A and B are shown apart, each in its own frame.
Chain A
Amino acid sequence: MIKNYFNQLIGAVGSTWNRFWFTSSDPLTLCVIRILTGIVAIIYHLSHSWDLTRWFGLHGLLPIDTVHRLTGAANDSVFDQQFVVAHISLLNQFDDVANLWTVHIFGLAILLAFTLGLWTRITTILSLTVILTYIHRAPMITGHVEPILSMLLLYLCIAPCGTYLSLDRIRARKKQSVTTEIPSSISATVSMRFIQVHLAALYFIMALSKLAGDTWWAGEAVWWLIARSETRLIDLTFLSDLPAYYVVNAWTHLIVFFELSFALLVWYRIARPLLLGIALLMWTTLALLTGALLFCLAMMVANLVFVQSTTWRRYLNNPLDSPTTLAT
């Protein structure tokens, strides 16, 4: 009886796993995410332009030796040596103005090509490399947007994300006189599932780690965000008095409740439109509250992975994207 149970369990888990990961799907959603991720990546990349040499130059704020000492990479311990291996960056090789700018402009060109969908298979991998290069050059000044951005780029490397809405597609149409049906793709499913699972895990850990702090239980956390006068974009200190302060309490509780709910309920198709709508509202208000605009934008882009391709087709009625043209 026990043996039968485990046989059934293994069979059920196996078939669910295969259905979840290996059912082929339309990559349109990932193509939309490619464009939006590319825009976030370009904004992120350009944010380095004003201070490129100020941070990474010879007399910059964070010379390579300083970074190695801050990270402990100058030591000989296993942990510290692993840190060196894991934080490889092309920018570690240069500290002169000319080379830094050469790498920077070359990186921008790659990100532009990726966003426009030019040689997408290659430029997706190169875009990930560009972003990781900046992250690993000085990990101590990275924030919350980097892990989301690198996550999206990493998983887009797997997918045929240049299939639609791309220069690759236009080039393919010019070459081919006869068009065929676009094949759905297992790699698109794997990529999409990775983003979905990773994102749900992030929401879950965001909620759990918030609950480790008393202020989230006490409903005060949003007040302490409002009180950060050096980062907030809007002044909501008028909410300090009762009864307006109840809004702060409710807002705090709703953030935690939503993050927990998203991780658990987004897998139910019926709940998705509601959750995505609330996510849009939550990240918009958090952006104004915390000043972390790019991070909130990246989270909104990542959330779009739960929008079905049929929904995109309804809104993207472009002749270039007719489902009867050739996939790249």
Chain B
Amino acid sequence: MSSQATTPADANSMTSSVRGFVSLAIFIHLCFVFLAITSNVEPSLLQQRLLLVARPYAQLLNIDLSFTPYHLTHATIDDVDHRIEVLPAGKMSTDEDNWVSMPDVGWRGTERYARYQRLASMMAYFSAEEDTAALLAESICKNFLEQSSITPQRIRCRKHLLQNRSSINGLAADRDPFAQQYFRDVYTANVLVGADGQINVVPTGSAQEMAQPDTNRK
């Protein structure tokens, strides 16, 4: 196994007590790594109990991930992308062109682009928790107001459904992956902007279904 070895005799240059101490440290570290990695998806009660001990260390070193699954993707039909959009004051909500998406951050292969997508997935994830979703929505609306000079009157988080194989060869409307039929609102709220710039959101409760984002919050 030791393919990179050059001078095996050097192992003796470390005293046995030092080697024993280092071995113990290696063993404990690896235990924490395996515990954190194996409990990433669906931890058992035992793993959850052990994680209470390991978590400060494992999270500090970003081994125990609270928000990211290690498996990259389950690649299921529910593993979808989300969008956050706001409707500027004075615009009609019925015209889809009036809605402003989260900043257009250019090429989709960048981490920058992915970060905005994760925020949208996070909002979808929290859409069932009214207070938390409202908190996020307020931060986003405030950001639009302060940094883009857009006064929002509504905000929504949309789930972008995937095309199945049959729709690729179906009607023209089915073939376009960005057609409106592929979007579902998972969170919508009216935005109230006070004279002092204070923002409050009032969920409209018209979300058509709950999201199942690619998020693994423990």
Contacts and interface: CB of A to CB of B under 8 A. Distances in A.
Contact of A147 (B63, B110, B112, B115): B63
Nearest to A211: B71
B135 A144 contact: no
A133 B59 CA distance: 12
B169 interface: yes
Interface string A10-26: 00000011111111111
A17 B65 CA distance: 29
Interface stretch (A101-109, A115-123, A171-179, A233-241): A233-241
Given A69-B132, A201-B34, A294 B111 contact: yes
A205 B165 contact: no
Contacts of A141: 115, 118-119, 122
B43 interface: no
Contacts of B217: 140
Interface in A270-324: 272, 286-287, 290-295, 308-309
B30 interface: yes
Interface string B97-123: 000000101001111111101110010
Contacts of A194: 26, 29
A96 B162 CA distance: 40
A189 B162 contact: no
B46 interface: no
A79 B55 CA distance: 9
A206 B66 contact: no
A245 interface: yes
Contact of B19 (A18, A62, A286): A18
A322 to B, nearest CB: 16
B4 A230 contact: no
A246 to B, nearest CB: 13
Contacts of A308: 3-4
A2 interface: no
Contacts of B28: none
A32 to B, nearest CB: 13
B70 A24 contact: no
B60 interface: yes
A225 B119 contact: no
A228 B67 contact: no
Contacts of A70: 122, 126, 132, 135-136
Contact of A290 (B66, B73, B135): B73
Given A66-B136, A294-B111, A205 B59 contact: no
Interface residues of B, number: 87
A51 B103 CA distance: 10
B93 interface: no
Contacts of A39: none
Interface in B61-107: 61-63, 65-77, 79-81, 83, 103, 105
Contacts of A210: 71, 74-75
A184 interface: yes
B61 A150 contact: yes
Given A70-B122, A224-B162, A47 B67 contact: no
A86 interface: yes
Nearest to B168: A240
Nearest to A149: B62
Interface of A: 16-26, 29, 43-44, 47-48, 50-51, 53-55, 59-63, 66, 69-71, 78-79, 82-83, 85-88, 132, 135-136, 139-147, 150-151, 154, 184, 186, 189-190, 192, 194, 197-198, 201-202, 205-206, 209-210, 212-216, 220-225, 227-231, 233, 237, 240-241, 245, 267, 269, 272, 286-287, 290-295, 308-309
Interface of B: 1-8, 10-11, 13-14, 19, 22-23, 26, 29-30, 33-34, 37-38, 40-42, 52, 55-63, 65-77, 79-81, 83, 103, 105, 108-115, 117-119, 122, 126, 132, 135-136, 139-140, 142-143, 145-147, 160, 162-165, 168-169, 177-178, 217
The 5 closest A-B pairs by CB, nearest first: A86-B59, A221-B75, A209-B71, A24-B10, A229-B177
23 contacts: A23-B8, A24-B13, A50-B105, A54-B103, A55-B115, A59-B146, A61-B140, A69-B135, A83-B59, A132-B61, A132-B62, A141-B118, A143-B114, A147-B63, A151-B62, A151-B63, A184-B6, A186-B14, A213-B74, A224-B76, A231-B114, A269-B3, A291-B114
